[in-house]
Amino acid sequence: MFDNLSEKLQSAFKTIRGHGKLSEQNIKHALKEVRMALLEADVNFRVVKDFTERVRKRAVGREVLKSLTPGQQLIKVVNDELTGLMGKESVGLSFAETPPSALMLVGLQGSGKTTSAAKLANRLRQEDHKPLLVAADVYRPAAITQLQVLGEQLGIDVFADAGEKNPRNICQQALQKARTEGFDVLLVDTAGRLHIDQELMQELRDLKALLSPQEILFVADAMTGQDAVTVADQFNKDVEVSGVILTKLDGDARGGAALSIKAVIDRPIKFVGVGEKLDQLEVFHPERMASRILGMGDVLSFIEKVEKSIDEKKAKELERKIREQTFTLEDFRDQLKQVREMGPLDQLLEMIPGADKKALKNLQVDEKEFVKMEAIINSMTQKERVHHKIINSKRKQRISKGSGTDIRDINKLLKQFEQARKLMKKLTGGGGKRSRRMPRRFSKGMLPF
């Protein structure tokens, strides 16, 4: 995400190398490049103008610290201002003192409301809430069915009445069900339109009056850039949204919506969709996003993903095996599963500080390779997984048939496994006590390659 913007901003910072002080003259060209980069990223023109002026006022006349180059000093100022532009810090959801809390999801058709409702319900359940999804979109064909299918996949209750054509009645019944059956959160998937119209807005105002929602979350497709910001502004004027969910942020190379929407409507981005899977809805952290845009990675999000996916007992057992050089193909398979649970590999690599954006852009990560590797290991006998050296050509033929793969795939897997073992041996100093060079993160179960 934001690849184009990141590249252009980093290029702009390089123009002020070699200066001992940030002056009006030597940052003029750099700020011009920053301005062009933001405009090309489809950031609102007024937002860009105000942003670059704030950066100029803060940067001009600053002595360059001994530990920083002029470019790094400017990056620090831009990082602070980008963070402020997107809201300074993350903002959580509000809940009613007396359940159930009502959360309305609003927006145009195609923005991802229904999927976002299911993703949010999934997050809330993980946080010990008992959510009820409410299918209040009675106009879009198959909208109710879509929500029911998603609810079934997640094991989350969905209130729907295919025969009822009045969204107000549906919400009234859902509210009653929540009160009597102990649901503490109502997630209402409202209807959208292809464009803003008064009929839609009146319906949303009616539902707002009925539910007195704690949150009205505007769902916007990040790929639509400034259009999303314009629509958000209109929805905010009509129904007073409390926050924003940006969908498809993983496919947005420009970033205009994420950088503009808070400044234009003065409402925080609360969540972002970073993939199609139902667990790929993340809390939006302005400071972390600013860091990623400027090519400085996002270590905190990376660590959170690791810790969420890693079983502590398994991690300690893995550390012992690494130290004692008893790491097997079964352990290798478990590590592959944990990496897959953390999300797309290219997105994970982008979070690492210093990662080469250009190289990552050309990196094609085929998730099917992970499935293939697991299938190969699953087709081995227990003895083969523990003692991989015994896997000869005859055994490879059997494994190949059992996993539906080619013998070349088996050879490739075994080679990767050997490379991983050798790397572990180096990092642990050949066994015994942990080497000083061994990253502490391996104790959390990270794949060491």
Among 85, 110, 140, residue at a domain's last position: 85
Say if residue 271 is in the same domain as residue 221: yes
Q: For residue 90, is it within any domain? A: no
Tell the residue number behind the tokens 């409507």, with chain if given: 265
Domain that holds residue 251: 101-296
Last residue of a domain, one of 296, 313, 341: 296
Are the CB atoms for 86 and 292 separated by under 8 Å? no
Residue 363 lies in a domain: yes
Residue 392 lies in a domain: yes
Q: How many helices (H) and strands (E) does the chain have?
A: 20, 8
Q: Which residues contact 364 (CB under 8 A, 6 or more apart)?
A: none
DSSP class of residue 21 equals B
Find the CATH number of the domain harbouring 362.
1.10.260.30
pLDDT (0 to 100) of residue 437? 41
Kindly state whether residue 96 falls inside one of the protein's structural domains.
Answer: no
Q: Please, are residues 140 and 193 in contact by the beta-carbon 8 Å criterion?
A: no
Q: What is the pLDDT of residue 319?
A: 67
Helix segments in 187-297, DSSP class H = 198-211, 226-239, 256-265, 286-293
pLDDT of 347: 60
What tens-digit pLDDT sequence spans the chain (449 residues)? 577 788 888 787 777 766 666 777 778 888 888 899 899 888 989 999 999 999 888 887 665 554 466 677 788 888 889 999 999 899 999 999 999 999 999 999 989 999 999 999 999 999 999 999 999 999 987 899 999 999 999 999 999 998 899 999 999 999 999 999 999 999 999 999 888 888 899 999 999 999 999 999 999 998 888 889 999 999 999 999 999 999 988 876 577 888 999 999 999 999 999 888 899 999 999 988 888 788 665 555 555 555 565 666 666 676 677 667 777 888 888 777 777 666 665 565 555 554 555 544 554 556 678 888 889 999 999 999 989 999 999 999 999 999 999 999 999 999 988 887 777 666 555 544 444 444 443 333 334 33
b (16+ CB within 10 A) / e for 163-196 = eeeebeebbeebbebbeeeebbbbbbbbbbeeee
Phi, psi angle pair for 134, to nearest 5°: -120, 120
Any domain includes 92: no
pTM score of the predicted model: 0.69
Are residues 117 and 239 both part of a single domain? yes
CATH number at residue 12: 1.20.120.140
Quote the pLDDT of residue 11.
Answer: 81
pLDDT of residue 381: 94
The sign of the dihedral angle between the CA atoms of 270, 274, 276, 279 is: negative
Cite the DSSP H helix spans in 266-356.
Answer: 286-293, 299-309, 312-324, 329-341, 345-350
Report yes or no: 106 and 239 within 8 Å, Cβ to Cβ. Answer: yes
Q: Return d(Cα 317, Cα 443) in angstroms, integer.
A: 9
Nearest to 239 by CA among 262, 269, 260, 210: 210
The total number of structural domains that make up the chain: 3
Alpha carbon separation from 269 to 5, 126, 159, 258 (Å, rounded): 19, 21, 27, 8
Q: Do 141 and 283 share a structural domain?
A: yes
* Residue 280 contacts residue 301 (beta carbons within 8 Å): no
> Which one of 234, 263, 296 terminates a domain?
296
Both 264 and 307 in a single domain?
no
In angstroms, the CA 218 to CA 195 distance is 14
